Amino acid sequence: MMKQIQSPALRGFTLIEIMLVVVIVLIAAGVAIPKFSGTFESYQLTDAIRSTVRMARYARTTAIIQQKPCALKFDDHQLVLLSGTNGMEPSTVRKIVESIQIDSFETLTENNQKNEELRKVNFYPAGMNDGFKLTLRTEKNQRATIVCNPISGKITVLEEGQ
């Protein structure tokens, strides 16, 4: 019986080849990861915008269907829908991530409430609301302004700083 001799090419990868592949993967990850961090923050801002728009639409719909006024309160890191006749009890809460801040808030009715601590919008059974202009900001100063029309309830979003 003759012994077969395997050539080095058939035995597999050498340690140097494996280390070279690992170094190339680490370099590629080092270049790509910082670019994705900005994308993640942008995604969080988009999620906060969507949550705000959905909660405002839900508040308007709830007021119309139940034929009772309700309110949407903008706390620092959550949106609270207040409904019911007993002093407006919280019925729905939606969290907003901590990296998103409320930059400014004002209502669009005649009394033009600029009280930053209150940050509450009333929705009425006829489909109207107090209207609001809310600006959200990320830690990297990306901003988005959400405007709700007091008569029609139409919501528009203006994004800036991208």
- CATH ID of 14-160, from 3.50.50.60, 3.55.40.10, 3.30.300.30, 3.60.110.10: 3.55.40.10
DSSP 128-145: -B--EEEEEE-TT--EEE
For residues 47 and 77, the answer to whether their CB atoms sit within 8 Å is no
| Confidence at 76, pLDDT banded by 50, 70, 90 | confident
> Are 69 and 122 spatial neighbours (Cβ–Cβ below 8 Å)?
yes
Q: Mean pLDDT across the chain, nearest whole number?
A: 85
The confidence band for 91, taking pLDDT boundaries of 50, 70 and 90, is confident
pTM: 0.71
In this prediction, residue 40 has a pLDDT band, given cuts at 50, 70 and 90, of confident
Whether the pLDDT of residue 120 is over 60: the answer is yes
CA distance 76 to 70: 20
**What pLDDT is attached to residue 5?**
64
pLDDT-derived band at 6, boundaries 50, 70, 90: low
The residue ranges of every structural domain in the chain are 14-160
pLDDT at residue 131 in the model: 93
SS3 155: strand
- Longest CA pairwise span in the chain (Å): 102
Of 48 and 118, which is predicted with more confidence? 48
